[in-house]
C-alpha cells in the first residue's frame, strides 16, 4: 500500500491510498480519482512533507491544524460527505480555537453537554483522545469555516 498526497484544481489537499504507483497512474488516467470536497477530477500528486528537504535542514515537517488537514474518507462519496458536513455545521456550535478547552469542560462536566466544533492542532487532538474525549477530524471546506449556524 502506498499513500500519496493529492490536490485538486481548487487547491484542496487530501490523501489517496493505492496498491502501487502504477495503480495511481491507471486510476488518474481513467479519471477515477476525484476530490472528496468538491468532486473535481483535476487531480495532481503533491510533494509529501516528509520527503521535501531544504538545503542543510534536518527539521521535522510542520504540523497542520486539523481544520486544514484534508482527508479522503474511504467508501464515502462526495455528495454524502458534503451532506454530512452541512448537517454538522447546521447542528453544532462553533467554538473556534477554544475547541480543546471547551471539549474538556464538556467531557469533565464543567460545562453543559452540547455538540461543538472548532479547530485544534494534531497534538491537541491526540491529547484529547488520550484523555478519553471523543473527537473526529473532518475536512470542512474553507468557504464553510466561517459559517456559524
Bridge partners of 96? 118
For the stretch 93-112, pLDDT in tens is 989 899 999 999 999 999 99
Quick check: pTM over 0.85?
no
Contact by Cβ (8 Å): 48, 30: no
**Residue 43 phi, psi (nearest 5):** -110, 140
In angstroms, the CA 54 to CA 68 distance is 23
> What residues contact residue 78 under an 8 Å CB cut-off, 6+ apart?
34, 35, 36, 37, 38, 39
For the stretch 60-93, pLDDT in tens is 333 333 333 344 455 566 777 778 778 888 888 9
Bridge partners of 14? 6
User: Where are the domains positioned within the chain?
Assistant: 2-48, 79-141
Amino acid at each position: 500500500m502506498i499513500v500519496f498526497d493529492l490536490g485538486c484544481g481548487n487547491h484542496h489537499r487530501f490523501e489517496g491510498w493505492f496498491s502501487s504507483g502504477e495503480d495511481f497512474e491507471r486510476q488518474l488516467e481513467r479519471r477515477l480519482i476525484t476530490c472528496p470536497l468538491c468532486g473535481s477530477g483535476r487531480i495532481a500528486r503533491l510533494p509529501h512533507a516528509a520527503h521535501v528537504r531544504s538545503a542543510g535542514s534536518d527539521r521535522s515537517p510542520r504540523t497542520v491544524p486539523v481544520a486544514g488537514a484534508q482527508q479522503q474518507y474511504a467508501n464515502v462519496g462526495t455528495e454524502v460527505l458534503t451532506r454530512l458536513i452541512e448537517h454538522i455545521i447546521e447542528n453544532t456550535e462553533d467554538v473556534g480555537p477554544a475547541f480543546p478547552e471547551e471539549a474538556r469542560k464538556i467531557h469533565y462536566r464543567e460545562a453543559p453537554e452540547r455538540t461543538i466544533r472548532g479547530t485544534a492542532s494534531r497534538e491537541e487532538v491526540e491529547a484529547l483522545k488520550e484523555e478519553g474525549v471523543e473527537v473526529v477530524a473532518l475536512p470542512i471546506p474553507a468557504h464553510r469555516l466561517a459559517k456559524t449556524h
